[in-house]
Structure 1
């Protein structure tokens, strides 16, 4: 068995939080239980999750992001120079606001200690066996810098940085330490989750970023620059992939748009080993941009949605895989859900049983297509 992601049937990484974990988190926040008691619940539920991942026959295991409130912000909070507070307005998603903490700079970005996610990984690592490898998911550096340069954040960010490239350098250096520490902890499979490209392809992108078409091109170059800078020193036997989507909160989305306008930069210039790509509905456009995925990089087609409990038709999914083959060889393709099942604690609108049924379908289709 290969020890490197992606696998023919794979998943992005986050899973629905069990009710008792949600209750424990609430109890901790209300001062009713200790951090030690919360961790005990997290440990138990993560072990249960990993056993289920193995039972389904998957070759990758994760902690489901069970120790986080959100897929990205908790990671940023582990850095020096980053602060957060309960939001009053939330972030606008389609039909619903995501009430996640406002996160902003309070100083220069750095990492003077071992990031907490390294310990999170060590817990999962112990459950690896001859059939499975542990994957660590973290937000991409591009996601980090985007958080700090969007129009609503720029005034605050400018208190600490007069150069976007200096900010990028500091963020990338922090990531280099995280990657080195994860590697020392035994991590060989790292996934960078990245919604920044989804924002760039949205019809409202100029308004969202407060710029024009040329400005959007400059931002593309900044995002690929910071991602590549952060991973430039990675060891040869460490696989680094990226997941690109358009937002995932309570079965809603933040942006829409095909990959066409970012394909040349994202698929030709980003130095990752594979892309987990959202393709579950018309918001993602067609497969034509896959022709830009250069070298021997792989693509994991996110054709099964996590936003709805309805199971996809197997024949329809296989037909879409064949459509993708017009632009990239089948041996460079894999299959997964389009995103995680719970990018934030609230989770998407489906049950755990429906979650497992989605993953069973992914596996069945992959085994039929890649015999």
Structure 2
């Protein structure tokens, strides 16, 4: 849906969880409360967080990803880890990819994906990464990732139904007219250690077939599905040694084709795709530039494209959209406030960033957003202040553009 009379606003998805929800998540995992009791806590929380979004002026709201369990108030991986309880074919393990150093291979080009501790950015700044006073990494609860040991199936019907019902009920109560639910991409789903599928292609397409059920449930309910896929950009930094750009584009092309397979038949206007370079607060000097990714991005069958643009490693890349060839019926959803700094962007800066994108693709095709999810990455008070600055900046840009 294009803008008609103003710059609309949204965000990437994750918003700070309440202490009540964090406690309920832990109690449910420990078997101390039932699923129904957990859902009741989520319902109350979703109503409140949607009301807060509307109060702050957010147009396209979501459930804060409250149905995606966070392990603690600091959790960079909830966007991915939530899928472990919604997929069959997985076996628990003692692996924590944020800490382990075991390598995994994929093709083509003999691509080698490493864990977080072996990223090239971390190698370059190892002293800073290992210094607790640097603020790059914050204490987090260890989360064990499972392994794929059998055919992947989707088992999250009850969970995604709760996500949908909670958001729709909250939208009805608050008068919100547009809402989205985030869901894991096939490419990111495939980053779980695989001990069953014989080829990378079999693995990625199995992930696509399983996750399609979640995408379809969301769009069938009249909501927008946001495909969360850091793997398209972020995996570049997980490859040692650094590959050629050509080999890397071949690696992500399979993931894009599998995603389009999963999206087949779904209304593009109810699909938006989120690309980012990862949510950790590091230097990011080894990020792959957007100029290499913009063409693959636009080949994804989505109606909107969300991406980091306030991140200071990528803020200059707005110029690329002048010649990107964005189709007339598509929108871009650039981040104009960042999750990677505690500094709250001034509304004038937010407005300037929005106007840059409007000059590149047209005012009707820019929805102002955040770089990535704010929940689990910023203090709740700062996260809400950033949303407030986002909508204030969009109002300034609206006055200038409409």
Same fold (TM over 0.5): yes
- Where do residues 122-137 of structure 1 align in structure 2 (5 Å cutoff)? 122-129=165-172, 130-137=175-182
Match of 1:105 among 148, 156, 159: 148
User: Which residue number in structure 2 is paired with residue 143 of structure 1?
Assistant: 188
User: Which residue number in structure 2 is paired with residue 18 of structure 1?
Assistant: 18
- Where do residues 59-70 of structure 1 align in structure 2 (5 Å cutoff)? 59-67=59-67, 68-69=69-70, 70=78
User: Which residue number in structure 2 is paired with residue 218 of structure 1?
Assistant: 250
Report Cα offsets for 1:133-175 as digits up to 9, x if no partner.
3311112222212x14xxxx3xxx2x42223222233222223
State the SS of the aligned residue for 2:333: strand
Report Cα offsets for 1:162-195 as digits up to 9, x if no partner.
23222233222223332333344x2331111110
User: Which residue number in structure 1 is paired with residue 234 of structure 2?
Assistant: 199
How many residues in Structure 1 have an aligned counterpart in Structure 2? 349
User: Is contact 2:7–2:395 with CA below 8 Å preserved after alignment?
Assistant: no
CA distance in 2, matches of 1:23, 1:173: 33
User: Which residue number in structure 1 is paired with residue 162 of structure 2?
Assistant: 119
Does 2:79 match 1:71?
yes
User: Is contact 1:118–1:178 with CA below 8 Å preserved after alignment?
Assistant: no
User: Is contact 2:50–2:63 with CA below 8 Å preserved after alignment?
Assistant: yes
Instruction: Say if 1:82 and 1:360 are closer, same or farther in 2 by CA, change over 3 A.
Output: same
User: Which residue number in structure 1 is paired with residue 367 of structure 2?
Assistant: 334
CA distance in 1, matches of 2:289, 2:339: 19
How far residue 38 of structure 1 moved from its aligned partner, in angstroms, is 3.1
Instruction: Say if 1:48 and 1:316 are closer, same or farther in 2 by CA, change over 3 A.
Output: closer
CA distance in 2, matches of 1:367, 1:71: 30
How far residue 213 of structure 1 moved from its aligned partner, in angstroms, is 4.0
Report Cα offsets for 1:76-106 as digits up to 9, x if no partner.
4312213344545625276338633323212
Report Cα offsets for 1:107-152 as digits up to 9, x if no partner.
112236736223221221122235433311112222212x14xxxx
How far residue 8 of structure 1 moved from its aligned partner, in angstroms, is 1.5
User: Is contact 1:246–1:253 with CA below 8 Å preserved after alignment?
Assistant: no
Does 2:279 match 1:230?
no
Instruction: Say if 1:222 and 1:132 are closer, same or farther in 2 by CA, change over 3 A.
Output: same
Q: Mind listing any 5+ residue stretches in structure 1 that lack a counterpart?
A: none
User: Is contact 1:206–1:212 with CA below 8 Å preserved after alignment?
Assistant: no
User: Is contact 1:244–1:277 with CA below 8 Å preserved after alignment?
Assistant: yes
User: Which residue number in structure 2 is paired with residue 348 of structure 1?
Assistant: 377
User: Which residue number in structure 2 is paired with residue 82 of structure 1?
Assistant: 90
How far residue 55 of structure 1 moved from its aligned partner, in angstroms, is 2.0
Instruction: Say if 1:359 and 1:349 are closer, same or farther in 2 by CA, change over 3 A.
Output: closer
User: Is contact 2:152–2:207 with CA below 8 Å preserved after alignment?
Assistant: yes
State the Cα RMSD in Å: 3.0
Q: Mind listing any 5+ residue stretches in structure 2 that lack a counterpart?
A: 71-77, 100-115, 123-128, 130-136
User: Which residue number in structure 2 is paired with residue 305 of structure 1?
Assistant: 338
